[in-house]
Structure 1
Amino acid sequence: MKKYLFLWIILLIGSWHVVAQANNDGALIRISTDETDLIYRQAPNGRLYQVYLGPKLMHQTDLEHFSPFAKGGSDGSAGQRGWEIYMTSGAEDFFEPALGITHADGNMSTILTYVSSEQKAIDSNATETIIRLKDNQYPLQVIMHYVAYKKENVIKTWTEISHQEKKPIRLNRYASSIIYFERPSYYLTEFNGDWAKEMNMTTQQLQYGKKILDTKLGTRAAMHVYPFFELGFGQPAEEHRGEVVLGTIGWTGNFRFTFEVDNVGNLRVISGINPYASHYELKAGETFTTPEFIFTRSDEGKGDASRSFHQWARNYQLYDGKGDRLTLLNNWENTYFNFDQDKLSTLMVEAKSLGVNLFLLDDGWFGNEFPRNDDHAGLGDWQVMKSKLPDGIPFLVKEAKKAGVKFGIWIEPEMVNPKSNLAQKHPDWIIRLPNRETYYYRNQLVLDLTNPEVQDFVFDVVDNLLTENPEIAFFKWDCNSPITNIYSPYLKDKQEQLYVDYVRGLYKVLDRIRAKYPAVPMMLCSGGGARCDYGALKYFTEFWASDNTDPVERLFIQWGFSQFFPSKAICAHVTSWNKNTSVKFRVDVAMMCKMGFDIGLKDLNADELTFCQEAVANYHRLKPIILNGDFYRLVSPYDTEHMAVMHVGDNQKKAILYAYDIHPRYAESTYPVLLQGLDPAKMYKVEEINLMPDTESGAAINGQTYSGDYLMKVGVRVFSARQTTSHIFEITAVN
């Protein structure tokens, strides 16, 4: 204890000089991208306040005009309430705090004063700002981190909390970030859904009081509410115009966004882990690190803001964000649980004939005493089922290689069925209440990843497969159940830390996997699109957006996910869902994202098979633009019975236009679609691709040449009155 006291005295002595200097200077901190400024200023009371968040200012000298009290307090006075960099509880602010602490002596108040700040370059494009705060009455330190990505116009922020009190402190609130706005009105677009109806978009005006978006599901955290939001100022967020902010939290667990409009019309947005049932005990010398809150703003609508997110994700956050993606054939809707190795070998040959890169073996390949022939048994017993696969995974890897494709495999290593050897051998590894009837979601339970032994087990699922079969080229990592029966045998008397420590345990496993197997692509799946956050996507190359592959439904789902994710991160498969639609329509919908197939080729006629093969070839030829190009949403399915989007290559020499007729009304008027992102000075030839064999394009624009200026100002007619039809146009610069 004397050692800690000595260290704290040294810290105080060192910080007094910095604080005194900051008080004299009125410390001003500027966090900038090429388009946005976030500015903090220290007040005479020693505390740090947000004084500006908006378009980047031209003149450094103008920053001196900012005062932390210019906006007045949140009660309308010229006082000192509101707008603090990290608002705390127990002091004079009347509204939602970002940080709430019960100190070792029971005091629930915290006041943070400015200590120091520094900025350092991460690379030529990104700069990290580190701001240190402390409580003058307690040995408590808060460090705020901000990384500004200049070209991408994205700011990422997180917080570190530590102390040297005599006993542990209790964290009741521990947000990642709090940001403020002062506008006449605010409109929130949120994202909600459920299994097979992911990422629905709804918009409402924020009025006085709080609007909370949160989840309490633990693992499958985004099943009902998704960790994204869009704010429009003065009007609902529009696609091509207006001031907007897009934000998300990088956390694969319970999250909370709080939007609070106060009594004078100011808005505070607090983002972070949901503190529900998650009060956290922090010991002296330990550091609590929050997830990353990531946001961008634009004065040109949410389309521009989305492209900022896409570019940032490819450059910095998405695993292998600049790399290629594999096309694949999955066996699931071909076979479900009913397969053997001969049937799989045949499908591998089909994969090769289709032209895709990889064959993916889905659920049902494991379990012997409790064979995985349905979803009631086998989870946790990751041994090859001998009755189905007598020659094991090595045989399948060889068969895939012989067929000329790579081999991938499905796993769900965080879960366990009660009917399994694992459940019988290690009941203490399972999250389950000791004194109540067990509730089963999809006939399974969640393993306790707060336990280091369980973390080792989950890591070994991947490690054992790759040790035996180093040529496995892909994993689909599923997670079908939220945390139910919420009790950790490992945590014992610290149950409120379960939700937080579970996600941290998962990240520890994924860190080990990526350290040992950095080159293996992995798809993130969770009963569809219930895991889709940028915390997990540091480890995964892509995610499964929905089990609903009806192409009409997928247009809405993919439109929603495109608000925040680049096309290369969103998996879209061609399946037999909605057989009332043509194979062409289903393929054309999947082609706007990371395309794959989950369909039996034997169910296709000769023309359909030829079409699919030619579409795969087109996809591979155009992948650099589809996966890495700028994405423009042109016509929304929420507004019309049509949808149009496009990809534009980074040199504006090539673009792809996708047009979909969903359910047009009789004699409906359609209008030209105005393209975006082209060079107005270039001339472009428009050619329709993905045509059925022996079919010519009926589009009037096919084969025509237009200037980029014409295509963006006058537009082209690409919609029809036909039900569920589609057109894809390749647009190529000819000068």
Structure 2
Amino acid sequence: MTSHGPWTLRTGTTVYAVRLSPDGPWPELAAWGPDGTETGPSPLDWSRRTHFITPADAAPAEYIPYGQRPFTGADLIACRPGEERGTWWAFTGAEQDEDDDGTQRLRLTFADEHLGLTTALVYATVPGTDVVRRRTEHTNTKAQPLRLERFDSGAVTVPVTRAARLTCLTGQWSREFQLTQVELERGRFEIGSTQGVPGHAYAPWLAVQDAAEPADGPATPTYGIALAWPGNWHITADAEPGGTVRVRAGRLPHEGAVLLGPGATLTAPWLACAFSPEGLDGLARAWHRYERRLAGERLHRPRKVLYNSWEATGFAVDAATQLDLARTAAGIGAEVFVVDDGWFPGRDDDTGGLGDWTPEPTAFPEGFDAFIHQVRALGMDFGLWVEPEAVSPRSALHAQHPEWVYRIDGRPATLVRNQLLLDLGRPDVQEFVLATLDRLLGDHDISYLKWDMNRPPTERGRPGGGPPETRDLDAAHVAGYLRVLDHLRTRHPSVTVEGCAGGGARIEHATLARTDVVWPSDNTAPLDRLAIQHGYLHAHAPHTMSSWVTDAPGVFDPRPRSLAFRFVTAAAGVLGVGADIRRWSPEERAEAAAWIARYKEVRDTVHRGEARTLGGPTDATCGVQYEHPGGGRVVVTAWNTGPLDGAPLVPGRAARLRLRGLDPAARYRDARTGTAYSGAHLTHAGLAFAWTATYDADLVVLERGVTP
């Protein structure tokens, strides 16, 4: 290695190599792929000749400023206020080291002495995964402020033959995480959000493949990125000259630019980069391993089966009704009872109460603690729903602190869901939220907290907070949000924290690193939910995916499915129940209890095992396979999404799911039926499912090590 590189980072099975370009002072990607890819000529090498563009515009640059790359998309745009935009930097050094835990770090620095800007490109591996994390740090070295219009976290370049296949997760409220593919031969593709959260429309996640290869091929090289930022963001992909696609990602300031003061440093969010040689399914497992690493020791705490009372009672919360539900929930095996919206004063509907976070005395006439004690006496933990960032206009909090909401003087306020949003970037608002949560969790025996957010910020101003161009409201709100979550993890480590934002509008790695589970969607209808979870599991791990069994009809696919179908769907992640179980028949409750008992036996495999998707919800039969660490157990969740009568294409012939990744010489026994299979049979012939009108889903447990 010379002072110009290459610099090599090694993960569990992959390599990421960076070098200084021979054409100018910018870093380029030399190799990214399986270990050994760095040996030999780089697939990103080019002739060094350009026509009507600069060499920097054609280079596979890891990060490059406008000024040096003026035409095809820069990652950094900076200037002094009132002056022309542009940065022309020089390489100033590299530092590479390795921590005791195996984390490899690389830091490349560049400086524009005239502008007074120093930029550091920071790389770090994550032990036990195939993820390389990247971000940038920008420091103003002069006595005048700097204006940063773009400051992406990083960029990656992927070689393709003719076109790139981009896989993203799209949707809307109640239809999040729809797996969507776009073929990009020329031009630009962009997704993002300016809603103050990642949003329902797109997830900050992208997979890139050569369109000449099959998307789900077991030997298709697949590259992925994911941005850890719970605020405004973008991901942009450009089909570049010479057979590459270049993807850059970063946050978007609400004000359009950030003013960086003298001596100040702006640190961009982490961008996680992952590679798998095994297609989208292999990339999903790479992300799952990374998110299990983010969970740390919390991964080993069982995700308990919860019952949430919202769909049964709505805002009509009172102790007697809730206890009636709690007794029934305990009877089917629930381990946590969560009271949702409606437990605080003024909350008869969604027009009041938010911000006044004390239990409604008339709803709990014997006292809130006595109510919690009665729930816990049933053998369940107790949980509570809160929406800490929200405030109702007619609440006592808003009357006392109208200045705490986002607003613009002289302009009307927009109500969304009849509420306003607190400016969590303000230190006094943060202190209020911290004190509120400490009081609730400290004064009452609460072990589960569901944090919701049901509206984006509108009229996003802060009167009296200085000129708008000097603020960075989006980053301030994110910092406040993460500060509160970090406080919860430190001050209340035993409390399970669920993240929710009107469903799946705020799910990304910064949130997942600080919560135990998240709520992917408010849509719990069986076939709708199956499609949501199929997309979700391509980007996120099963142990993070909260899912409920309800009686909700389909929003987009209204075909009914059995209670078994709904339980198997919810058991594919973290099982919960949200139906009005008082209305279920004794037979349905008995069936529910049996499914919950089966789930408890396999949840460790579901949450910690290697997951593989087996087809998808557009197939008549699909499933998810989970292999326990060490391979001693395989769990398969399977569904019939086809005709309601369950009729196969050929009468009398069962549908089959071919399993993947099993040892062909190993022996597996169905724990329920006793049927034994070889690994070769399961991967070649598959598991048989003789679907009928009433048998439309199953959960199969295969124990390894039994001879047929």
Fold-level match, TM-score > 0.5? yes
Q: State the match for 2:257 in structure 1.
A: 279
The AA in structure 1 aligned to 2:573 is C
Q: Is the 8 A contact 2:53 2:71 kept in 1?
A: no
Using the TM superposition, give the Cα deviation of residue 480 of structure 1 relative to its aligned residue in structure 2, in angstroms: 0.3
What is the RMSD computed on CA atoms of the aligned residues? 2.4
Q: State the match for 1:378 in structure 2.
A: 353
Question: TM-score, normalised to structure 2's length?
Answer: 0.93
The one of 574, 580, 596 equivalent to 1:616 is 596
The AA in structure 2 aligned to 1:726 is A
Paired residue secondary structure (2:538): coil
Q: State the match for 1:484 in structure 2.
A: 458
Using the TM superposition, give the Cα deviation of residue 421 of structure 1 relative to its aligned residue in structure 2, in angstroms: 1.0
Using the TM superposition, give the Cα deviation of residue 620 of structure 1 relative to its aligned residue in structure 2, in angstroms: 1.2
Q: Residues 308-707 of structure 1 correspond to what in structure 2 (within 5 A)?
A: 308-316=286-294, 320-367=298-345, 371-469=346-444, 471-489=445-463, 491-494=465-468, 497-578=472-553, 580-638=560-618, 640-664=619-643, 668=649, 672-688=656-672, 702-707=673-678
Paired residue secondary structure (1:253): coil
Give the Cα–Cα distance (whole angstroms) in 1 for the partners of residues 215 and 295 of structure 2: 25
Q: Is the 8 A contact 1:412 1:478 kept in 2?
A: yes
Paired residue secondary structure (1:486): coil
Q: Is the 8 A contact 2:122 2:134 kept in 1?
A: yes
The one of 179, 188, 193 equivalent to 1:201 is 179
Give the Cα–Cα distance (whole angstroms) in 1 for the partners of residues 551 and 599 of structure 2: 20
Q: 1:112 to 1:324 in 2, by over 3 A?
A: farther
Q: Is the 8 A contact 1:32 1:56 kept in 2?
A: no
Paired residue secondary structure (1:338): coil
Q: Does 1:252 align with 2:230?
A: yes
Paired residue secondary structure (1:229): strand
Segment drifting more, 36-45 vs 591-600: 36-45
Give the Cα–Cα distance (whole angstroms) in 2 for the partners of residues 158 and 58 of structure 1: 25
Paired residue secondary structure (1:659): strand
Q: Is the 8 A contact 1:104 1:165 kept in 2?
A: no
Q: Is the 8 A contact 1:125 1:151 kept in 2?
A: no
Q: State the match for 1:154 in structure 2.
A: 131
Using the TM superposition, give the Cα deviation of residue 547 of structure 1 relative to its aligned residue in structure 2, in angstroms: 1.1
The one of 97, 116, 140 equivalent to 2:74 is 97
The AA in structure 2 aligned to 1:351 is A
Paired residue secondary structure (2:137): strand
Give the Cα–Cα distance (whole angstroms) in 1 for the partners of residues 414 and 511 of structure 2: 27
Q: Does 1:222 align with 2:199?
A: yes
Using the TM superposition, give the Cα deviation of residue 90 of structure 1 relative to its aligned residue in structure 2, in angstroms: 2.1
The AA in structure 1 aligned to 2:521 is S
Give the Cα–Cα distance (whole angstroms) in 2 for the partners of residues 78 and 171 of structure 1: 23
Segment drifting more, 73-82 vs 321-330: 73-82
What residue ranges of structure 2 are gaps of 5+ in the alignment? 555-559
The AA in structure 2 aligned to 1:230 is A
Q: Is the 8 A contact 1:90 1:109 kept in 2?
A: yes
Paired residue secondary structure (1:462): helix
Using the TM superposition, give the Cα deviation of residue 498 of structure 1 relative to its aligned residue in structure 2, in angstroms: 1.6
Q: 1:95 to 1:407 in 2, by over 3 A?
A: same
The one of 149, 166, 172 equivalent to 2:149 is 172
Give the Cα–Cα distance (whole angstroms) in 1 for the partners of residues 134 and 47 of structure 2: 24
Q: State the match for 1:72 in structure 2.
A: 48
Percent identity, aligned pairs only, is 26
Using the TM superposition, give the Cα deviation of residue 114 of structure 1 relative to its aligned residue in structure 2, in angstroms: 2.3
Q: Is the 8 A contact 1:548 1:554 kept in 2?
A: yes
Q: State the match for 2:109 in structure 1.
A: 132
Give the Cα–Cα distance (whole angstroms) in 1 for the partners of residues 519 and 497 of structure 2: 11
Give the Cα–Cα distance (whole angstroms) in 1 for the partners of residues 288 and 37 of structure 2: 29
Using the TM superposition, give the Cα deviation of residue 285 of structure 1 relative to its aligned residue in structure 2, in angstroms: 1.8
Q: Is the 8 A contact 1:258 1:269 kept in 2?
A: yes
Q: Does 1:86 align with 2:60?
A: no
Give the Cα–Cα distance (whole angstroms) in 2 for the partners of residues 331 and 183 of structure 1: 51
Q: Is the 8 A contact 2:170 2:203 kept in 1?
A: yes
Q: Is the 8 A contact 2:434 2:484 kept in 1?
A: yes
Q: State the match for 1:7 in structure 2.
A: none
Q: 1:299 to 1:681 in 2, by over 3 A?
A: same
Q: State the match for 2:97 in structure 1.
A: 120
The AA in structure 2 aligned to 1:177 is G
Q: 1:38 to 1:403 in 2, by over 3 A?
A: same
Give the Cα–Cα distance (whole angstroms) in 1 for the partners of residues 671 and 473 of structure 2: 56
Q: Is the 8 A contact 1:112 1:136 kept in 2?
A: yes
Q: Is the 8 A contact 2:404 2:422 kept in 1?
A: yes
Q: State the match for 1:231 in structure 2.
A: 208
Q: Is the 8 A contact 1:128 1:146 kept in 2?
A: yes
Give the Cα–Cα distance (whole angstroms) in 1 for the partners of residues 30 and 156 of structure 2: 10
Q: Is the 8 A contact 2:3 2:94 kept in 1?
A: no
The one of 192, 195, 217 equivalent to 2:170 is 192
Paired residue secondary structure (1:226): coil
Q: Is the 8 A contact 1:129 1:147 kept in 2?
A: yes
Give the Cα–Cα distance (whole angstroms) in 2 for the partners of residues 266 and 43 of structure 1: 17
The AA in structure 1 aligned to 2:160 is R
Give the Cα–Cα distance (whole angstroms) in 1 for the partners of residues 269 and 156 of structure 2: 16
Q: State the match for 1:718 in structure 2.
A: 689
The AA in structure 2 aligned to 1:625 is T
- Could you list the per-position Cα deviations for residues 508-528 of structure 1 after superposition, in whole angstroms to 9, with x for gaps in the alignment? 222223221222110001111
Paired residue secondary structure (2:439): helix
Give the Cα–Cα distance (whole angstroms) in 2 for the partners of residues 123 and 328 of structure 1: 39
Paired residue secondary structure (2:158): strand
Give the Cα–Cα distance (whole angstroms) in 2 for the partners of residues 428 and 654 of structure 1: 57
The AA in structure 2 aligned to 1:684 is Y
Q: Is the 8 A contact 2:18 2:31 kept in 1?
A: no
Segment drifting more, 94-103 vs 678-687: 678-687
Using the TM superposition, give the Cα deviation of residue 160 of structure 1 relative to its aligned residue in structure 2, in angstroms: 1.1
Question: TM-score, normalised to structure 1's length?
Answer: 0.89
Paired residue secondary structure (1:337): coil
Q: 1:56 to 1:433 in 2, by over 3 A?
A: same
Give the Cα–Cα distance (whole angstroms) in 2 for the partners of residues 604 and 442 of structure 1: 31
Q: State the match for 2:557 in structure 1.
A: none
Q: Residues 23-38 of structure 1 correspond to what in structure 2 (within 5 A)?
A: 25-38=3-16
Using the TM superposition, give the Cα deviation of residue 562 of structure 1 relative to its aligned residue in structure 2, in angstroms: 0.2
Give the Cα–Cα distance (whole angstroms) in 2 for the partners of residues 122 and 251 of structure 1: 25
The one of 167, 183, 188 equivalent to 1:210 is 188
Using the TM superposition, give the Cα deviation of residue 566 of structure 1 relative to its aligned residue in structure 2, in angstroms: 1.2
Q: 1:441 to 1:30 in 2, by over 3 A?
A: same
Q: State the match for 1:694 in structure 2.
A: none
Q: 1:57 to 1:527 in 2, by over 3 A?
A: closer
Give the Cα–Cα distance (whole angstroms) in 2 for the partners of residues 44 and 717 of structure 1: 58
What residue ranges of structure 1 are gaps of 5+ in the alignment? 1-21, 689-701
Using the TM superposition, give the Cα deviation of residue 326 of structure 1 relative to its aligned residue in structure 2, in angstroms: 1.6
Using the TM superposition, give the Cα deviation of residue 310 of structure 1 relative to its aligned residue in structure 2, in angstroms: 0.5
Q: 1:655 to 1:251 in 2, by over 3 A?
A: same
Using the TM superposition, give the Cα deviation of residue 68 of structure 1 relative to its aligned residue in structure 2, in angstroms: 9.1
The AA in structure 2 aligned to 1:716 is L
The AA in structure 1 aligned to 2:489 is R
